[in-house]
Structure 1
Amino acid sequence: MVSINVSQGDALENDSSALVIHAFEGITKPDGILSTIDSLLSGVVNSLIKDGEFTGKSTEIVRFPTLGKIKPSRVVLSGLGKKESINSLKIKEKSAEVARYLRNIGVTNISIALLSESDTGISEESFGQSVAMGSSMGLYQFKKYKSPKANNPEKSVESISIISPTGSSLPDLKRGVEKGILLSNAVEITRNLVNEPANVVTPSQMANIASETANAAGLPITILEKDDMVKHKMGAMLGVTAGSAQPPKLILIEHKGDPENPDNNIALVGKGITFDTGGISLKQAAGMGDMKGDMSGGASVIGAMHAIGTIKPKINVLGVIPAVENMPGSNAQRPGDIVTAMNGKTIEVENTDAEGRLVLADAISYIIQEKGTKRVVDIATLTGAMVIALGHVTTGVFGKTQSLVDEVLKASKTVGEKMWQLPIFDEYKEQNRSDWADVKNTGGRPAGSITAALFIGEFTDGADWAHLDIAGTNMASKAKGHIVKGATGVPVLSLVQLVENLAEAT
């Protein structure tokens, strides 16, 4: 990962490959540091503005060489758009775009002139956090299995330095950068897990990585094995794993932030299907390889717990990952089978490809009964119907507890991860009714995301509950802003922000 630091001094005296200077839309003449650069470089900035080559629009990135007249090798003008609409999220997105642009032209060391709070309304801490997050997340690449090319060495940005003209802003700036790096690392943990192939990230390996992450953050971790699941009568989860040679794991990572108040708690429960063939209800071959990402919910919980363990909010947080493989082996469950979940409810398995909700049912039942969980947020690549409804832009949010749903939406808005609430009216429950069991695991095609959410809701008695369907947002087909091609890391930032908000409210 790129090294990001802060320093005090004259940005024109920083010996970097590129000096980035942000400017707002509507700029008519160079001022401040741009005025100095313009004077030293024979009016180049003024010419760019007058000729309309740089207007400050948010899509603009313009560079020019400095010809040795100042220490940075080149200056990069970065448009931020209209001043009245600037915020920390836009700084994050532009930082990602600029960092990728400079990497692509071979720049290794970047310096960035600090934008003052008086100019932007953005605190130095927020600016530092946004630059660190945007740059780190935007530069992310997963090339672990790509062989290096001798005649085409990999381009990479090695360091980014935010330059402040005064020392008074350095403590806040540094604090923001440190928080930004922490959150970026959390997202990277998640992205790495999701981008790995399923022959590497099995349920056992997911448990190993969870253990490494928990141990590094100083968090206790418990891993339940198949025998434990049998003991606790987790028939739903055991049914999903029956067709696989890979043993299932139920991973529990704990942050005891408020041990004197055990009821001040929340569980983040992430679906961890490390590969989903659909089971006996086999998926089509086209696109099945993408099902290595069906554990994105679980990966996001592991990433979030990394950050939570360092931030140490005053709230008890339980990260839960039911890690299972869904395969069509000779022992696999069949359509029409009836299984009994840990809470005693019987389930008709109408479709073995609706397996994520089954493992979540037992995982949630376990933490409510055995851990006294009062609030549950589950995260899952649950339904293709979610992609049809909201595409690849927005995560669907459901829940029986509006106050918790509101907190989720508030957190997502703060961090810029788009989410939208969908209804779970009682009328939809009729689609999940079974002639042979208490409930069936699919309600058919109409309102498929809603009926899937309602199925999970059947196992949340005694706890507030919200559900995030990230089937459309866990992966991206191209880079834009801090999102890169491949695993996105959504909704790690929202989960961490949610926990921080709840801790502050107690």
Structure 2
Amino acid sequence: MDIRVVNLRDCDGLSDTRVVPFYEGIDLSESLDYLGLNIEAMVSHLVREEKFTGKYGEIESFRIPREKNPKNIILIGLGKEDELDCEKVRKLVSKIINESQKLDAKSVKLFPFHLRSNFPVEDFSKAVSEAAIMAAYKFDKYKTDEDKKDSSLKEFNIIYKYDENIEKLNLGVIEGMILGEATILARDMTNEPPNNMTPEIMAETAVKAGEDFGFDVEILDEQKIQSLGMEAFLSVGKASDNRPKFIIMRYSGNKDNSEEVLGLVGKGITFDSGGLCIKPAASMPEMKSDMAGGASVVGALCAIAKLGLNINVVGVVAACENSISGKAYRPSDIIGSMSGKTIEVINTDAEGRLTLADAAYYVVSNENASKVIDIATLTGAALVALGTSTTAVVSNRDDFYRLVEDASSISGEKIWRLPAFDEYRELLKSDIADIKNTGGKNAGTITAALFIESFIKDTPWIHMDIAGTSWAEKKSDYIPKGGTGAGVRTLYHVAKIMSLSSKNKVYHK
């Protein structure tokens, strides 16, 4: 979809669909002026009869039987002016996209409305453009031509009145479009069937993304992985005929500060059968999405590199399948790790943390990451605790958590911090090894996170459990059914905040 910023004086006849926004409780006459006299009379009737009042999310649309533009009118309620924020804008834009598609619109123009003084115009246009890209998304590449219907909507125009805003509006549109595209890449990777998203294909996808968006990618094969001592990672993947790959993505945006490196670690289990502790059949189909954390890291690197952030970032993904064969690792096995710690395997379906342990240790010890975020579809307990709207977070640093919390407030992706008390670490103690890979049935999300923490030394660290947020059972707002791309935009904004702080600049929430 092409998203443009156009001056009000240049937009006559531009689009077949006009979108006119209204605040609740404010004189609607200025907005009505955008409709033209003939159409204004029809809309004025709706306003007088209080069929349309501008309440947040309220929407009315109708077709006009004529040849010239506009052929469609959409009225959208903004709610109270002082309550409008970026996330509300995203949800409103998703309504506009959905309504436009119902009308078979080809081109939309969103008319201007007043933004309060502390709502930067670039944040507004970024929210509009990223939501337009994300709301129009669908994954139908495997449908036959008879079942596939391309969207008619090809163009979204943001109309403005004042020339001094044009540069900021355009900057917001560019950032929003790139964030939308990066999120869609992560969605596509997550939605691919497991026969078309093996560890090798995931590695190839990362290489292609690096070429397209501007970052370096190195792929380690099994022999090189073995030479690094990543026994925990290799134990998980050794039962599958699709051999493991270790994906390393490097972006050097601040060569003057080589000591500051943000390490992003994504879980890359391209299919999770549960191993010998096999999952029930009903739980299997969704397990193609067990690499969603890795996909989010790839997507985040794409946005970070394309937008040229002033920061050094290394993303790593330990990609493999957790399968079943005579070679499979077993409950009660004792396995090693790159760090040298020994691990007692209690449950082979607690595999993601084993791969993340080696990946996180690698990014700290070999890539000198000064801060680490791991992101993973790690525990069903996160879904039980927080549902599908909120990502569970565990951290060992309050200041680093606050930075991620700020990034979350910008992206609109909700997070919630869980405690990391020493009592939870006690649950991971093993009688016969250094640590065991589960802490039992209680506090499952916390103990899984703290297992990973034990491999990152004293590095500031965040764990994001996206088990509930990476996959949606039904479409809502700009979130599609299937893979959501959760985490891409939050990880990007973490990097952006760090980038701006290094330049002594401020950022907008």
Please tell me the TM-score bracket, short chain as reference: over 0.9
What SS is found at the alignment partner of 1:407? helix
Unaligned runs of 5+ in 2: 503-509
Q: Partner residue of 1:418?
A: 414
Equivalent position to 1:307, from 296, 303, 328? 303
CA distance in structure 2 between the aligned counterparts of 1:127 and 1:366, rounded to whole angstroms: 39
What SS is found at the alignment partner of 2:163? coil
Q: Partner residue of 2:356?
A: 360
CA distance in structure 1 between the aligned counterparts of 2:40 and 2:296, rounded to whole angstroms: 51
Q: Partner residue of 1:104?
A: 102
Does residue 346 of structure 1 match 2:346? no
CA positional deviation for 1:11: 7.4
Q: TM-score, normalised by structure 1?
A: 0.96
CA distance in structure 1 between the aligned counterparts of 2:137 and 2:34, rounded to whole angstroms: 34
- Do 2:419 and 2:446's aligned partners in 1 also have CA atoms closer than 8 Å? yes
CA distance in structure 1 between the aligned counterparts of 2:294 and 2:242, rounded to whole angstroms: 17
Equivalent position to 2:127, from 130, 139, 142? 130
Q: TM-score, normalised by structure 2?
A: 0.95
Unaligned runs of 5+ in 1: none
Q: Partner residue of 1:5?
A: 4
Q: Partner residue of 2:284?
A: 288
Q: Partner residue of 2:507?
A: none
Equivalent position to 1:463, from 451, 459, 481? 459
CA distance in structure 2 between the aligned counterparts of 1:450 and 1:317, rounded to whole angstroms: 26
Letter paired with 2:12: E
What SS is found at the alignment partner of 1:156? coil
What SS is found at the alignment partner of 1:244? coil
Q: Partner residue of 1:44?
A: 42
Mapping of residues 439-454 of structure 1, within 5 Å: 439-454=435-450
Structure 1 pair 56–69 and aligned structure 2 pair: CA distance change class (3 A) = farther
RMSD after superposition: 1.7
CA positional deviation for 1:428: 1.0
Equivalent position to 1:204, from 200, 204, 211? 200
Equivalent position to 1:86, from 65, 84, 91? 84
Structure 1 pair 11–65 and aligned structure 2 pair: CA distance change class (3 A) = farther
CA distance in structure 2 between the aligned counterparts of 1:47 and 1:463, rounded to whole angstroms: 63
CA positional deviation for 1:174: 1.6
What SS is found at the alignment partner of 2:389? coil
Mapping of residues 267-416 of structure 1, within 5 Å: 267-416=263-412
Q: Partner residue of 1:95?
A: 93
Letter paired with 1:199: N
Q: Partner residue of 1:77?
A: 75
- Do 1:125 and 1:176's aligned partners in 2 also have CA atoms closer than 8 Å? yes
CA distance in structure 1 between the aligned counterparts of 2:117 and 2:98, rounded to whole angstroms: 24
CA positional deviation for 1:78: 0.5
- Larger CA deviation: 157-166 vs 250-259: 157-166
Structure 1 pair 284–103 and aligned structure 2 pair: CA distance change class (3 A) = same
Deviations along 1:173-231, whole A, 9 cap, x unmatched?
22111111100011011000000000000000000000011122221111111111211
- Larger CA deviation: 168-177 vs 321-330: 168-177
- Do 2:214 and 2:302's aligned partners in 1 also have CA atoms closer than 8 Å? no
CA distance in structure 1 between the aligned counterparts of 2:293 and 2:485, rounded to whole angstroms: 9
CA distance in structure 2 between the aligned counterparts of 1:132 and 1:36, rounded to whole angstroms: 22
CA positional deviation for 1:165: 3.2
Deviations along 1:258-292, whole A, 9 cap, x unmatched?
22322111101000000000001100000311000
What SS is found at the alignment partner of 2:56? coil
CA positional deviation for 1:251: 0.6
- Do 1:16 and 1:71's aligned partners in 2 also have CA atoms closer than 8 Å? yes
Q: Partner residue of 1:479?
A: 475
Mapping of residues 93-242 of structure 1, within 5 Å: 93-117=91-115, 121-149=118-146, 153-242=149-238
| Percent of aligned pairs with the same amino acid | 38
CA distance in structure 1 between the aligned counterparts of 2:42 and 2:179, rounded to whole angstroms: 38
- Do 1:97 and 1:480's aligned partners in 2 also have CA atoms closer than 8 Å? no
- Do 2:220 and 2:246's aligned partners in 1 also have CA atoms closer than 8 Å? yes
What SS is found at the alignment partner of 1:371? coil
Structure 1 pair 120–149 and aligned structure 2 pair: CA distance change class (3 A) = farther
Letter paired with 2:128: V
- Larger CA deviation: 3-12 vs 85-94: 3-12
Q: Partner residue of 2:506?
A: none
CA positional deviation for 1:63: 1.6
CA distance in structure 1 between the aligned counterparts of 2:67 and 2:40, rounded to whole angstroms: 10
- Do 2:59 and 2:75's aligned partners in 1 also have CA atoms closer than 8 Å? yes
Letter paired with 1:249: K
Does residue 61 of structure 1 match 2:59? yes
Letter paired with 1:122: F
CA positional deviation for 1:10: 3.9
Q: Partner residue of 2:505?
A: none
Letter paired with 1:341: S
Aligned length: 502
